[in-house]
């Protein structure tokens, strides 16, 4: 669920910029750089990025939609050249460190310096090697085959884990089989870390993890502390949720499978990575006279097609005052998995030009994908808002968490009042149905938070050497038990590479954005609900159809990356600091209920 904005910062290919970096700057190395040179450098960088962006984006799009040896080759070659140029641009920008320049020039120089996710050193052989590793890792995940050529379809295995009726033995087999895909990634991943760290150090960062954390308008170590601070606000609610879910799974499977104490076996939580637990809802739901709305069933009963689900999501945004997406969106997006080729089914949103927006998604007619579609279109509407108002280097979100949060903010309005408004249900259930609804939301939202911390904490520690190459798997499961209270269901060793079974690890997509998004979306929702005049429980508020709320939202979207994220947050909420108290407000009735259920249980792990 990721926008392709990294292309703007990574895929930079231009002989003119290369010439500026390698010749003009070196020729004047004896003289201090000037303000005019810095401004010219930035202007040339922006013009070149913009002139090359469409070609690069479409090359990446073709590879994602036609995964073959040839398209992997093309993307690897493009990535090689792009990485060379990205490193060159970043090193060129570094030469203006300490020079007093205007705000925009300085901010854009810093964006150029931190523009790469996985930087290579200024070495052609290492750059080529890194590009090939990245393409190979991407292809390994997309194909889903073990070294023994046992091939698996992630969607099919996920269905087994998601189905409450499948046995725990079937779930375990599916869980193990997907993790046969990732051990072959391990040596390549280790080598990628070595090269990326060398590249990061050339840019002036201690390691690649520091480079990643430097993108948040605050010192890198302060960002890690801020993540832990906000997690501390939510942790008591998560602990209560884990305790209740463990108890109910123990009732279902027995002591031999799930203990009443300690961590929960990872294969039983309804999701391949135990990152969201919504599929165990039938086993853990509060028993009330009014059941939660079964959105999947309603979509099927109403005969929704995949494309109709997308049209419905677009209608939400247009109801807020946003213009419809262009005709090309409907002509060029991928909505359904093709039967004749390999594609990357992981949902993503793309802006290929300021007039060309798409999503790539193998849609299933489920409640989960209905929400994901709203999320992806949130990326598209955000992309268009800043593309129309900002210069090239500001065409991104305030921070990457903002991009993820926008669609999810809209999704918080996908409640019963909204479903009635669009005709998916006939009547809004009474308040007795709120507890099941809140439980479903908590299983998806609250359960996700510690997982979203673990993915990057593990990588940060791999990059800085705290996790040695011979302890990758051990430390992965140590963090997952510490933060999530889950454990591997069978013995795992260093022959395995379980982090690689999650797309974002071999794909090198930073994951902190998802944690930030899960905090920010509730903060945004609470503020927008004030605008619509909501006086009831926060979880019953929908902003659908309110153009004043849409205008408030758009004012922040149009800022793009032009100002520090703290200022963008203040534009929306009146506060410059993240605050998870909106989450506690949203789930307050559920917290009361969980406390009651857990009063005689031994919580914690």
Q: Which residues are catalytic?
A: 346-347, 375-376, 379, 404, 504, 514
- Enumerate residues 6+ apart whose C-beta is below 8 A from 190: 469, 472
Q: Is residue 481 within 8 Å of residue 461, measured between CB atoms?
A: no
Q: Looking at the DSSP assignment, which residues form a beta bridge with residue 358?
A: 350
* Residue 459 in tokens: 């990588």
What is the CB-side half-sphere exposure of residue 348 using CA atoms within 13 A?
21
Task: Please give the Cα distance from 493 to 471 (Å, whole number).
Answer: 9
- Output the DSSP codes for 152-192: --HHHHHHHHH-TTS-HHHHHHHHHHHTTSSGGGHHHHHHH
Query: Cβ of 390: how many Cβ atoms within 10 Å?
Result: 16
Give the closest residue to 499 by CA, choosing from 446, 548, 463, 445: 463
Q: How far is CA 448 from CA 178, 273, 310, 522, in A?
A: 20, 10, 24, 14
Tokens at 47, concatenated = 């013009």
Backbone angles phi, psi at 487, to 5 degrees: -145, 160
Rounded Cα distance between 159 and 175, Å, is: 11
Q: Which residues contact 561 (CB under 8 A, 6 or more apart)?
A: 111, 386, 390, 393, 394, 395, 396, 397, 398
How many whole angstroms separate alpha carbon 96 and alpha carbon 94? Answer: 5
Tell me if 437 sits within 8 A of 416, measured CB to CB.
yes
Q: Is 393 helix (H, G, I), strand (E, B) or coil?
A: helix
8 A C-beta contact, residue 106 and residue 29: no
Q: Roughly how many angstroms between the first and final C-alpha of the chain, as a whole number?
A: 31
User: What would the 3-class secondary structure string for 362-429 be?
Assistant: CCCCCHHHHHHHHHHHHHHHHHHHHHCCCCHHHCCCCCHHHHHHHHHHHHCCCCHHHHHHCCCCCCCC
Return the CA Rg of the chain.
24
What are the backbone angles phi and psi of residue 312, rounded to the nearest 5°? Answer: -65, -40
The residue length of the chain stands at 605
Q: Among positive and negative, which fits the CA dihedral 471, 160, 307, 314?
A: negative
Question: 42 and 394 in contact (C-beta within 8 Å)?
Answer: no
Residue with tokens 């998802």: 514
Contact 503, 511 (CB under 8 A): no
Nearest to 299 by CA among 290, 309, 291: 309
**Residues 6 or more apart from 436 whose CB is under 8 A from it?**
281, 285, 286, 288, 290, 291, 292
Give the three-class secondary structure for 218: coil
């Amino acid at each position: 669920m990721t926008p392709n904005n990294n292309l703007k910062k990574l895929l930079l290919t231009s002989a003119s910029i290369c010439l500026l970096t390698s010749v003009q700057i070196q020729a004047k190395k004896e003289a201090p750089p000037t303000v005019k040179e810095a401004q010219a450098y930035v202007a040339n960088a922006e013009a070149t990025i913009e002139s090359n962006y469409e070609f690069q984006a479409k090359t990446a799009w073709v590879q994602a939609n036609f995964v073959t040896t040839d398209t992997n080759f093309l993307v690897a070659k493009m990535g090689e050249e792009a990485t060379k140029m990205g490193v060159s641009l970043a090193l060129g920008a570094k030469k203006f460190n300490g020079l007093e320049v205007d705000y925009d020039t300085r901010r854009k120089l810093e964006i150029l310096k931190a523009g790469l996710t996985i930087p290579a050193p200024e070495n052609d052989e290492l750059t080529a090697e890194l590009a090939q590793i990245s393409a190979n890792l991407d292809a390994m995940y997309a194909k889903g085959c073990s070294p023994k050529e046992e091939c698996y379809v992630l969607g099919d295995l996920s269905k087994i884990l998601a189905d409450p009726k499948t046995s725990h033995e079937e779930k375990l087999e599916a869980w193990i089989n997907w993790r046969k895909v990732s051990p072959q990634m391990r040596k390549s991943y280790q080598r990628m870390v070595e090269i990326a760290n060398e590249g990061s150090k050339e840019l002036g960062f201690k390691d690649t993890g520091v480079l990643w954390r430097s993108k948040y308008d605050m010192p890198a170590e302060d960002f890690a502390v801020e993540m832990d601070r906000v997690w501390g606000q939510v942790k008591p609610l998560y602990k209560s949720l884990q305790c209740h879910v463990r108890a109910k799974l123990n009732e279902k499977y027995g002591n031999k499978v799930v203990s009443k104490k300690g961590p929960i076996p990872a294969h039983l939580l309804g999701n391949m990575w135990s990152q969201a637990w919504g599929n165990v809802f039938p086993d853990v739901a509060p028993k009330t006279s009014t059941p939660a709305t079964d959105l999947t069933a309603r979509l099927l009963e109403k005969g929704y097609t995949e494309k109709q689900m997308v049209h419905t999501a677009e209608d939400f945004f247009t109801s807020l005052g946003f213009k419809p997406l262009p005709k090309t969106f409907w002509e060029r997006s991928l909505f359904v998995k093709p039967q004749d080729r390999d594609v990357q089914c992981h949902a993503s949103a793309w802006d290929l030009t300021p007039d060309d927006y798409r999503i790539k998604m193998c849609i299933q007619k489920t409640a989960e994908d209905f929400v994901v579609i709203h999320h992806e279109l949130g990326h598209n509407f955000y992309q268009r808002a800043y593309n129309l108002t900002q210069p090239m280097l500001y065409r991104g979100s305030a921070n990457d968490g903002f991009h993820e949060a926008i669609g999810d903010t809209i999704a918080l309005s996908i409640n019963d009042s909204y479903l009635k408004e669009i005709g998916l249900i006939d009547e809004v259930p009474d308040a007795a149905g709120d507890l099941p609804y809140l439980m479903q939301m908590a299983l998806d939202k609250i359960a996700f938070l510690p997982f979203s911390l673990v993915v990057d904490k593990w990588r940060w520690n791999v990059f800085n050497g705290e996790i040695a190459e011979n302890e990758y798997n051990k430390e992965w499961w140590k963090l997952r038990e510490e933060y999530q209270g889950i454990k591997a269901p069978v013995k795992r060793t260093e022959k395995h590479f379980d982090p690689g079974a999650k797309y974002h690890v071999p794909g090198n997509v930073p994951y902190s954005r998802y944690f930030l998004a899960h905090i920010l979306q509730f903060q945004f929702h609470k503020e927008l609900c004030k605008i619509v005049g909501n006086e009831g429980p926060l979880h019953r508020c929908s902003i659908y159809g309110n153009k004043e709320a849409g205008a408030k939202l758009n004012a922040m979207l149009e800022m793009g990356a032009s100002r520090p994220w703290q200022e963008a947050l203040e534009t929306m909420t009146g506060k410059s600091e993240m605050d998870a108290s909106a989450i506690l407000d949203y789930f307050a009735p559920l917290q009361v209920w969980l406390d009651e259920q857990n009063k005689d249980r031994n919580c914690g792990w």
